[in-house]
Structures are given as structure tokens and as C-alpha cells.
Amino acid sequence: MGNEQIQELLGKISGRRLVNTLIGLIIRRFKKDLKIKKMKYLTFKNGDQLPMIGLGTWKSKPGEVYDAVLWALSAGYRHIDCAAIYDNEKEVGKAFEKAFSDGLVKREEIFVTSKLWNNSHRFEDVIPALKNSLLELRLNYLDLYLIHWPIAFKNGVGFAQTREEFFTYKDVPLSQTWAGMEEAHNQGLTKHIGMSNFNISKLEEVFESAEIKPEMNQIELHPFLPQKKLVEFCKSNGMLVTAYSPLGSGDRAARIKKENEPSLLENDMVRAIADKHNCTVGQVLIAFSIHRDIAVIPKSTNEGRIKENLASIQVDLDADDMKALLNIGTDFRYIDGSFFTGTKSPYTLSDLWEK
Ligand code: A2P
């Protein structure tokens, strides 16, 4: 075989390899799209889209959350819910960095939420707190930043225990915190801003001074706490809603649990609906929010359950199922906020929840 023939053959092989590589890439891309296409989205006013199922990271321990985030992204999740107080943003950030460097996802393909902790409600504290979350998450912008609670602690206080460690609404009105959120948005540090655990009257208070209307309220929501009135209020005021603790957050620390809490995961009616659809109880609970056009962020650090929860998007509850779930007859709030109230606090439960 002459030199020219060898060169021609080599050219053919590398050309074929190139074609194979290209075909491989196209198939991978197509598969990725297929996975994502099954997802449903909520749409912000500017057209940005929020994948309706996100991975919750509250209670996900360092040492576990890194794998959880990577499993979730590999399974097709594109929405990760974080918060400074979860004390794991550093490890979530390592997972993002790994996912980006491995080409698993690009930054712009994922939707990342974080939350302003109670000790940074003064105007001048909001941006430094957000920047700290960005540093830990190894990102240069957030998709969504939320005021975590309508409760303020003094700067540097992790969890207020005495009256002196709290700020009152007189010290730091919610309008001041919201102005800080608007500034963060205007500086391009976050694409969207909103809140978590805000009731109707607190939302109305923010609306009064807001130059940028809040776009999200993240609240506890499941069949035991369907939040009909608050959801209707948010939607009629142009806000999207995200459901937290959709499975009842059974892995909470004992000190924030009550005795004899009712169990969503062991509820007979939810089980019957799961049997009817040949799916799991967890999937029914997740599908419950999706069918109400509410995003939902089940937490898991178990690879199998992470996949199972994402597959809830395919559970097709019918009108009878939804009616039954919305009228389940058990009324219960798991995260009741009583850890922020009491004699050593200026706040009462009426600052948090409407009756
Ligand atoms: P794990 O992390 O071991 O999967 P919530 O989202 O309401 O906070 O609930 C989180 C709790 O529910 C965790 O204990 C989590 O455990 C568990 N969990 C997550 N997904 C499922 C599921 N599909 N079925 C049952 N339990 C689940």
C-alpha cells in the first residue's frame, strides 16, 4: 500500500469517526431533549420558564447533597431549590461545578433558587447575603431569590433565642427588605425575586411599596394544607407558587415535630389513588401540586426516590382524584413557625398564617 493510499484510508477512518462522534452527540442531545420535554413549566412574566419539579435540598446533609444534586441533574432535573440556612450550599456548589465541567448541563440550562436568611433583612445586608450564596453555590447569578420568612433577626444571629436578637417590623419593615431584593435584581444578581412563607396581608404590605412586583411565593402545600385562598390570591396578583414539604418532611428534626403528626405518606386516600394509577404515594403527592399549576420541590438524597419523584410528571390525576385530595378532611401544617414566636419573640403566629 502506497503512502497516498494510507493517507486516504486514514482520512476515511477519521472522517467516519468524526461522523460517528457527531451522530453520538446528536443522539445524546435528542435524548436530553426528550427527557426535558416531559417536564412541565411555569412561565414568568418575561418568558423565563421554571421546571415544575425541582429538587428540594432542605435537610439534605453535607456528605449526601453532592451526590443528590448530581443524580438529580443526570436524571433530568433542571430546577434546584436551595437556601443559605440549609447550611449545604457549599456542597451544592461543588456539584454544580462538577456538572458544568463534565458537560452534564450548562449553567443557563438549570434554574437555581436561593433564599435570604432572617438575619439579613436590612437593605444593606441583602446583597452581601446573596453574594455569599453565589460564592458558595459557585454561580454568578441566581434565577430566583426569595425572602425566606417575614421574620427578622439581628445581623450575625443564626437563630434568635432572646427578644434582643430579633428586629421588629418597626426596626426593619418588610418594604426595606423588599427594596434590597429589588436592588439585587437591578444589579443582575438574580433574575427573579419573591418570598416564602408570606400570607395575604404580608404580601399586600409589600405590594404597596414594590417597584418590582414579587413573582413567587414558596409555601408549605400538600393535601393536608391545600392553601386554596392564598394560592388564588397569589395567582390573581401575577405571582407563581411553589409547594414545599409536599411529602410532609418526615425527616425534620424532632424538636420541630409535633407528637402524633398525621402522615401524608401513609394516608389511605392517597394510597388508594396511587393504587388506581399504579404509581407511588409520593408521586401522587407531587402530581397534586402539578395539577394545580404549582411548582413542587420534593427533597430526597436517595437516587431511586430522586428518579421516582421526577417521574411524577407522568401521573395523570383526574378530576375525581383532585376533588378527593383537595377535600381530604385532614387539616395540618407541618412547619408551623412556632420556633419564631413565643414570649422571647416580638412575632406571633398571626404574623405568619391567616386563620
Ligand atoms: P429521602 O431523602 O431518604 O428520600 P419533603 O420533600 O416533604 O421535605 O419530604 C422529604 C422526606 O421524604 C425525606 O425524608 C425523604 O427521604 C422522603 N422522600 C423523598 N421522596 C420520597 C418518596 N418518593 N417516597 C417516600 N418518601 C420520600
The pTM (predicted TM-score) of the whole model is 0.90
Q: Is the Cβ atom of 56 under 6 angstroms away from ligand 1?
A: yes
330's grid cell: 385532614
Report the pLDDT value the prediction gives residue 36, as an integer from 0 to 100: 46
Q: What is the pLDDT of residue 15?
A: 66
| pLDDT surpassing 80 at residue 5 | no
Which amino acid is located at 36 in the chain?
I
Which atom of ligand 1 lies closest to the CA of 251?
14
Distance 265 CA to ligand 1 centre (A): 9
Ligand 1: does its nearest atom lie under 6 Å from the Cβ of 200? no
- For range 219-241, the mean pLDDT: 98
Take atom 9 of ligand 1 and give the residue whose Cα is closest: 249
- Confidence bin at 217 (pLDDT 50/70/90): very high
Minimum CA distance residue for ligand 1 atom 15: 300
Coil, strand or helix at 61: coil
Across the chain, what does the average pLDDT equal? 93
Q: For helices 200-209 and 228-236, what crossing angle results, to 10°? A: 20
Residue 298 Cβ inside 6 Å of ligand 1? The answer reads yes
Q: pLDDT of 131-159, one tens digit each?
A: 999 999 999 999 999 999 999 999 999 99
Sign of CA dihedral 179, 181, 184, 188: negative
With a 6 Å cutoff on the Cβ, whether 267 touches ligand 1 is: no
pLDDT score for 187? 98
250: exposed, middle or buried (C-beta count within 10 Å: 0-12, 13-18, 19+)?
A: middle
Q: What is the pLDDT of residues 154-210, one digit of tens each?
A: 999 999 999 999 999 999 999 999 999 999 999 999 999 999 999 999 999 999 999
pLDDT (tens digit, 9 = 90+) per residue, 334-347? Answer: 999 999 998 899 99
- Which of 264, 299, 307, 308 should be mutated for ligand 1, with most atoms under 8 A from CB? 299
2 pLDDT higher than 70 = no
pLDDT in tens, 11-58: 665 666 766 767 766 666 655 555 544 899 999 999 999 999 999 999
Is 86 annotated in the active site? yes
The residue type found at 177 is: T
Indicate which atom in ligand 1 lies nearest the CA of residue 60: 2
Choose among 258, 273, 270: nearest CA to 224: 270
Does residue 54 line the site of ligand 1, with CB under 6 A?
no
Question: Are 209 and 270 within 8 A, CB to CB?
Answer: no
Give nearest CA residue, ligand 1 atom 19: 300
Q: Which of 266, 300, 315, 335 for mutating ligand 1's site (highest number of atoms within 8 Å of CB)?
A: 300
Residue 96 CB coordination number (10 Å)? 25
Instruction: Give the pLDDT confidence score for residue 1 in this predicted structure.
Output: 57
Instruction: Point out the catalytic residue in the list 66, 77, 86, 347.
Output: 86
- Span 252-269, pLDDT tens digits: 999 999 999 999 999 999
Q: Which domains does the chain have, with CATH numbers?
A: 39-351 (3.20.20.100)
Instruction: Give the pLDDT mean for 233-246.
Output: 98
